[in-house]
Each structure stands twice: as structure tokens, then as C-alpha cells.
Amino acid sequence: VPFSVSIIGVVRTDRTTTVDTPVQAALNPDEEGVLELDPAYVDGLDGLAGFDYAWLLTWLDGPAPAGAEEPPEPREPLNLRPVPFLLARRPRPIGVFATRGPRRVNPIGLSLVRVVAVEGALIRFAGVDLVDGTPVLDIKPYVGAFDGPPGPVRCGWFDELALPPGATPASLSGPE
Amino acid sequence: VPFSVSIIGVVRTDRTTTVDTPVQAALNPDEEGVLELDPAYVDGLDGLAGFDYAWLLTWLDGPAPAGAEEPPEPREPLNLRPVPFLLARRPRPIGVFATRGPRRVNPIGLSLVRVVAVEGALIRFAGVDLVDGTPVLDIKPYVGAFDGPPGPVRCGWFDELALPPGATPASLSGPE
């Protein structure tokens, strides 16, 4: 039985195509975006400005934003062992649950952003890895005591990689 | 337009009631649980064992597990400024998007767990803040370079709190 989720807001950024959008907020920490929360939920933001960082849970398979150049892609069966963008030049398939890629069984994104300001139902944030128009499902405060392991940890195939600042699917797949 | 999410697996723990389940995995890091992934998705786990930690995205409003003592509660309108469990003794309402509580517009939980072993479609993990039978929506590897701010950060109302190990809704609301 599927559950249904509702959209609580939309992200506004200067990125209009996924191929030119950085793959992680941490690789593009200074670019700013705005979350436009549905005003019906504005009371839910009370206290958020006291946090430096927040998690955005987003829907990565939503309707393309108006004006975007990418037509909606035909739905293909999910590849459970895709090649991550970060491995495009040295292709190696990785189980989707060991990747952070957007094509997942449930295409829910997890972005850690810096809270710049909360202004009414708008959240100005820094750290853009979302295309303009991305639907938002939830906002959670980042809590250091909950959201990090107690020390350095193994991070699988990421431990072997250089993580280039600003990396996008396009920059990671083109000629080096 | 709501989106629909599907269940990719179920968490098995020794906790049968939410009131006696620790409120965060980090406050109960040694207790073990098992994620039973739908075997259809087993290829998606390839590579996960190389990560020490993973995020579980869960559905916190699912059907009660068989045998649970709590009847399904009647659905009430969501309180956008609830009192978090951790503030139960000094009640103060906080915007839901500045809390980590389970009653949210979209009741999606985010648990950071330690990956103990990946055995076929089973993931043994440590760090239990989920009641037995909780549906799982996604698994993501924890990546240190993406999932933490660059340094110490403000964490709002949590910064004023002691976070008692093993804290549950029951232990946080009973007499001190």
C-alpha cells in the first residue's frame, strides 16, 4: 500500500537543468537559494532561525519547472546498480542504496543547507544542489548531537574520490 | 497533487510502543535492529557494507505492527507548534520544522544508524529509535564530506538541553 506525501513548498534557485546543477550542496556551499513554504505552514518555522543548518527533504522526480529545457523523461525501470555521477569517468556500478543519486525507488533528496534567514514563509539558504522548482516535503533542523557519527568513519567508495567543488553531472561526464 | 511513496522494507526492533522507544538513534547507539529489505531491491545494497553509517528514511505514521498495544490514533489536525518530547517537563512550543518529532506534515523520519552487517536483503544496524514494524522508504549512505557542516554550528533550542541517553517519550514526560 503506497503512502502519499504532500508538497509543503518549492525551492527557487538559478539552476534550470539537472545536468548543470551541483550534485551536492556541500560542493556548492556559497550559492544561495530560497525555499518558498506554503504560507499555511508558516507557524512551523518558529525557532528555525536559531539553527545554522537544516535538512531539506525534497522530491527529485517532480514536474519540470516552467521554462525548463528538459522535457519530462519517459519513466524507465529503475536501475538498482547505477553508475554514480561522481564515477562517470571511471564507470563502476554501485547499489542505489550506497549512492546519493536522485534516481531511487522513492526519489527523496536529502540536502544539508545553511540557513541564511527566515523571512515569513521564505527561507533563504546557502548550498544549492537543487534545480529551480524542486518540491519540498520536509524541513528538519540539523542537530550536531544527532546527525553525525562520534568520530571519523568509513564512507565506502567516496573515500577513494576527490570531490571537485561545484561538480555537476555535466562537468563530471565531459572530457577531463 | 500528492506524490506516492512505496515501502522498500521494514525495521525490526525490540521496541513495540512509541512511548518506550528512544527518541533518537544517537541517544541509544548500541541497541541493534534489523532492516528487512524487500528482496526485489537486494541489488541496491551493493557497496553499502563499505560505509560505517547510513541514513534510514522511514514512515512514522504507518500501520501499527501486529501485536502492538497501541490502537491507531484518530487523526487530529497537525499542530504546527508542538511541544517536543525533549521539552515535555518545561513545555515550550516549537515550530514543527525546527523539531525532529514524528508528527509532521509528511511523517518522514531520518535516523542515522551504524551499519553492523549487510546479509543478503537484511541490514543489521545499531542505533534504535524506531518501533518494530516501521516502514522504510529509503536508505542512503552517510558521507562525511556531505552530511556535516564545516565546523561547530548553532543548533537552536537543542543547545540549551541536556540530552539524556536512552531518553524516550515516557521517560521524558514522567516525574523527574
> How much is the ipTM here?
0.92
Q: What are the φ and ψ backbone dihedral angles of B113, each rounded to 5 degrees? A: -120, 155
Q: Which of A62, A144, A158 sits opposite B153 (nearest CB)?
A: A144
pLDDT band at B144 (very low <50, low <70, confident <90, very high): very high
CB contact under 8 A, B141 and A97: yes
pLDDT score, position A176: 64
Task: Give me the residues of chain A with pLDDT under 50, please.
Answer: 64-69, 71
pLDDT tens-digit readout, A44-82: 999 999 999 999 999 998 654 444 445 455 567 899 999
Cα dist from B154 to A47, A90, A115, B54, B96, whole Å: 12, 39, 11, 24, 18
Q: Say if residues B17 and B131 touch (Cβ distance below 8 Å).
A: yes
Instruction: Give the mean pLDDT of chain B.
Output: 91
Q: Say if residues B48 and B94 touch (Cβ distance below 8 Å).
A: no
- pTM of this structure: 0.93
pLDDT score, position B66: 46
Q: Say if residues B13 and B33 touch (Cβ distance below 8 Å).
A: yes
For residue B14, the tally of other CB atoms under 10 A from its CB is 11
CB contact under 8 A, B94 and A46: yes
pLDDT score, position B171: 93
Taking CA–CA distances from A59, the nearest residue in chain B reads: B3
CB contact under 8 A, B46 and A93: yes
pLDDT greater than 60 at residue B68: no
Q: Which three cell numbers stand for residue A34?
A: 530560497
